Structure 1
């Protein structure tokens, strides 16, 4: 009886296993498009181009079908990917992904580099960080990695000094000398363009600055260099890292055609990292 129950159980499992295998093979087909999460703005614009390239049967994507899903924040795309509602996402740099994996125990890994979005400082009233008045409020992103990037950029621009290493792990508590008594306001990254009229300056991620009509090259009063180490990436679940569709997706993204599109569209404000 034990042997019979085991055999029946195995027979019951096989159809589901076969179904799962068929579904895995279908990922990227017209019946089951690849679901990729992006933040609205430049990431979405570039992914539209990638979708066009990937769909070509003779191209690097080998006819890969893509459905783009837009998000308005930095948290939900990773949560959706970990939950299986997405197959991949494209919007974050490695330090942010590492922090999310550590804090939220997400089974996500990087699959390939995409773009560098230098973070900038913007002001409606002042032309340089040196012009910012004493006691003024400066808004920065409230997530740990981009908040640290903003603080480092402000420190290098002369707003204040930071104790310890000047990298993305810096926090407001690391401000050592602040002779002009700037007040740092931490807000969700997507909200920063909306408060620009209410503060003396704000450090805004480029993917949110551009949709708000801000050109990082023309409008920022301080800007990370183009060789910033914060290259964005395509993230997938650990279980999918060796999947054929992942290689096809990365190949479709990392093309000269995408490089040319980025340069023509963003005029140096966004830099390919491949």
Structure 2
């Protein structure tokens, strides 16, 4: 009996040994097929990457349109979504509904992050829009009556920018420590008793029939049909510190700064193609920042 059990055990052991060897030999037989599969995969076209960008209509979306063909050649499908305000483009990037936005300058971005707890960062500057004061009921600064009304943006950085431009024209004086945080409360001298009408930046061009003068962001002035070169009665100096401080930037959520598609977008925007487009299209209303 013991001999039979021993013989049966030997038989089973031999069978298992043969099965194991057979299992190892199967992949070896099919191994030559692997290179063919790899070759087929390498010859397949790369998948298109979609890059969603939130932008103001003018000039941002127009500038972005110029780089769509450049990015398409790299397999990047640039989807441009236009927004008419300065809030949703930031919340959309923060929440992941958009990958990038292009509409704002660094001081506004810093203010927005501080007030909203967002995590947005600048990747690169693209262009600068000279901020201007435009005639409304009054045709010039000299004609401003006592108690004249002045429409200004109500967000902190752009309102400060407007007030500093008015101060540069000698219309008001501002506390030297206020800088880019200046509000009407920081005005130390207002000899003409100017009255400030604070509105969302996009709304300022819409009240030009109701106020004496208006301080308007460059992009909204363009949308309203104003030419900063021809129509503004005061402009920021394009060689000033403001030109550097208020350059419009490409913005992403923190952590996406080195996304290859984002870097490709920046490279395309900072190209000679875009520089030539800006210089030939906007008559100095928009200036390259690269």
Whether 1:40 aligns to 2:60 is no
Q: Which residue of 1 aligns with 2:69?
A: 52
1:122 equivalent to 2:139? Answer: no
**Corresponding residue for residue 109 of structure 1:** 121
Residue 184 (structure 2) pairs with residue 167 (structure 1): no
The 5-angstrom pairing of residues 229-240 of structure 1 reads 229-240=245-256
Tell me: CA distance 1:71–1:29, structure 2 relative to 1, closer, same or farther (3 Å). Answer: farther
The alpha carbon displacement at 1:29 in A equals 5.7
Deviation at 1:175, TM superposition (A): 0.7
Residue 169 of structure 1: how far off its partner (Å) = 1.1
Output the aligned Cα RMSD: 1.4
Q: Is the 8 A contact 1:152 1:166 kept in 2?
A: no
Question: In the aligned structure 2, how far is the partner of 1:93 from the partner of 1:210?
Answer: 17
Partner of 1:217: 229
Q: CA–CA distance in 1 between the matches of 2:282 and 2:177?
A: 32
Are the equivalent residues in 2 in contact too, given 1:215–1:269 (CA < 8 A)? yes
Distance in 2, Cα, partners of 1:34 & 1:145: 29
Cα deviation per residue 1:219-264 (whole Å; 9 max; x = unaligned)? 0011111132211100001121121112111101100110100011
Check the 8 A contact 2:52/2:78 in 1, yes or no: yes
Structure (1 or 2) with the larger CA radius of gyration: 2
SS in 2 for 1:173: helix
Gaps of 5+ in 1: 1-27
Q: Aligned residue for 1:66?
A: 78
Task: Output the TM-score relative to the length of structure 2.
Answer: 0.80
Q: Are 1:132 and 2:144 counterparts?
A: yes
> Which sections of structure 2, spanning at least 5 residues, go unmatched?
1-45
Large movers: runs of 4+ above 3 Å: none
Per-residue CA distance 1:110-149 (angstroms, 9 max, x = gap): 1111110111001133343222111010000000000000
Answer whether contact 2:136 2:214 (CA < 8 A) is retained.
no
Distance 1:66 1:174, change over 3 A: same
Match of 2:97 among 85, 95, 99: 85
Matched position secondary structure for 1:35: strand
Measured in 1, the distance between the counterparts of 2:93 and 2:56 equals 13
User: How does the TM-score come out when normalised to structure 1?
Assistant: 0.85
The aligned length equals 241
Aligned counterpart, 1:179: 191
> What is the aligned partner in structure 2 of residue 12 from structure 1?
none
Confirm whether residue 256 of structure 1 aligns to residue 272 of structure 2. yes
Q: C-alpha distance in 1, partners of 2:150/2:109?
A: 26
Residues 165 and 235, structure 2, Cα contact 8 Å, conserved in 1: yes
Displacement after TM superposition at 1:194 (Å): 0.6
Helix, strand or coil at the partner of 2:138: coil
The 1-side partners of 2:104 and 2:162 are apart by 16
Whole-Å separation in 1 of the counterparts to 2:165 and 2:177 = 13
The residue aligned with 2:202 is: 190
| C-alpha distance in structure 2 between counterparts of 1:256 and 1:166, whole Å | 38
**Structure 2 CA distance for aligned equivalents of residues 95 and 170 of structure 1:** 13
